[in-house]
Amino acid sequence: MPTIKVNDINMYYEIHGEGEPLVLIQGLGFEISSITQGKGKADYLDKYSQKYKVIVFDTRGSGRTDKPDIPYSIEMMAEDTIGLLDLLGIKRAHFIASSMGSCIALTLAAKYPERVKSLVLHVAFHRVPFPRNVIWSLMWRMPGGKKQMMKGADFLFKQQYPPTPESFARQGLAPLNFDGRKLLGQIKASTLIVNGTKDQAVSMKITQELAQGIPGAKLVLVEGDHLFISQDINLLLKPALEFLAEVDAF
C-alpha cells in the first residue's frame, strides 16, 4: 500500500476517486482504515469520491505512518500535509478536517492560502482554553464528559492500526500547545464549521470565537457531542457536500 517519504517520516496515504482534489485530515489518534474500509468507506468516503479525488493519510504518530520519538506540533503536521501534496503534485485542494485536524487545516490555510480552495472544519477548535495539566480532569468532571472520553478512547485503541500509548500522548500534546487565534483573520478560503452543541471537548465559546474570527465563515450547529458522526454521518456529510458544491459553482 502507498507509503511515501515526507520530511522525516514514512507517511501512509490512499487516493480514492477522480476529480478535483479533496484532502481529509483526521483527528487525534485516528487512522484512515475506519473510513477506507467497510461501512465507513460506503457511508462516508465513497460519497466524496464519487465527485472528488480524495486524499486520505495517517498523520505522524497514527496508523501506518511513522511514530518518531520526538515532540510533535500542529505546525509540524501541517508541513507534513503540504509535503505530501507537493510529492503528489497537488497544487490546490478542498480540505475537510476533524477535531485536531482542524488545527492542522487552519495552519495550512493561513500559511499557504494559495493551496486551499475551501475548508470544512468538523468538531473544530483553534485553541484549548485550559491549562494542559488540568484539561483532562476538567473534561472528565463535566456533565457527560466521562462518557464521551471513554467512548473515544474505546474506539481509538480498537482501531485496526491503533496508536501506541506513547504516540498518542505525543499527538495529544500538539493541540494543547497550539493557539490559532492569530491565524483566524488570515484565512482567505471559504470556510464551513460543523460543530456539536453538546461537545464537552469544544465549548460553544470556542466554537463562536472560531466562527467569528474567520472572515465569512459559515457555522452549522448540530445536536450532538464530539463523536456525533458516529450516530449519524449525514450530520456532517450533507452540509459538507452542499458547501463544496456551492464553492465549486463559483
Mean pLDDT of 221-242: 92
CA–CA gap between residue 26 and residue 96 (Å, rounded): 9
Q: What is the pLDDT of residue 240?
A: 98
CATH value at residue 216: 3.40.50.1820
Q: What is the pLDDT of residues 144-193, one digit of tens each?
A: 444 444 444 566 667 788 888 888 888 888 998 999 999 999 999 999 99
% of the chain exceeding 90 in pLDDT? 69
CA–CA gap between residue 51 and residue 54 (Å, rounded): 9
Give SS3 for 131. Answer: coil
DSSP string, 54-79: EEEEPPTTSTTS---SS---HHHHHH
Q: What is the pLDDT of residue 144?
A: 47
Strand pairing partners for 13? 57
Please work out, in degrees rounded to the nearest 5, the angle formed at the alpha carbon of residue 159 by the alpha carbons of 120 and 241. 20
* Residue 127 per-residue DSSP state: B
Domain hosting 236: range is 3-249
Would you say the pTM of this structure is higher than 0.95?
Answer: no
Q: What is the pLDDT of residues 12-45, one digit of tens each?
A: 999 999 999 999 999 998 899 988 987 878 889 9
Domain count, the chain: 1
